[in-house]
Amino acid sequence: MNNGTEEVTKKFTFPEKVDNVRTSIKNIAQLLKEVKNNRRNSVEHDNEDRDDVIANFDLAYRHLEDASMRLGKVLQATDINNFDLDSNVKFPKEIEKPSGQCGQCLQKPEK
């Protein structure tokens, strides 16, 4: 016994771990945007190539967006809980039949 100082460790599921990483990436992306805007509006550092600095901030931001999207694809591909943790929106298990004749190919065969 640790005199009431036991550390409580929550065991996260795989989707929760992936979603936590996605949330961290989104937070970092927001921080990056703030740093970029501060640098863009700064009157200091006149000897730098500001266009190149801003372009590299933009590129870094796009890479973070891509990483977040790819982790979303990981969640979809594993289909463990079949939902997006950010929005708690359930994904449909089946493709709904679209209207029109082209939807006939997506219909389940009758038994």
Instruction: Annotate 42-74 with three-state secondary structure.
Output: CCCCCCCCHHHHHHHHHHHHHHHHHHHHHHHHH
Question: How is residue 109 annotated by DSSP?
Answer: P
> Is the pLDDT assigned to residue 40 strictly greater than 80?
yes
Distance from C-alpha of 36 to C-alpha of 34, rounded to nearest angstrom: 5
> Is the pLDDT assigned to residue 45 strictly greater than 90?
no
> Is the pLDDT assigned to residue 93 strictly greater than 70?
no
What percentage of the chain has pLDDT greater than the value 70?
A: 62
* pLDDT at residue 42, rounded to an integer: 83
What's the whole-number average pLDDT of the chain?
75
Phi, psi of 90 (to 5 degrees): -75, 140
Whether 58 and 66 have beta carbons less than 8 Å apart is answered as: no
Distance from C-alpha of 29 to C-alpha of 63, rounded to nearest angstrom: 9
* pLDDT at residue 49, rounded to an integer: 87
> Is the pLDDT assigned to residue 8 strictly greater than 90?
no
99 or 64, which is more confident = 64
* pLDDT at residue 109, rounded to an integer: 47
Distance from C-alpha of 13 to C-alpha of 32, rounded to nearest angstrom: 29
* pLDDT at residue 6, rounded to an integer: 57
Q: How distant, in Å, are the alpha carbons of 9, 37, 61, 91 from that of 6?
A: 9, 43, 39, 39
pTM given for the model:
0.60
Mean local confidence (pLDDT), 2-27: 82
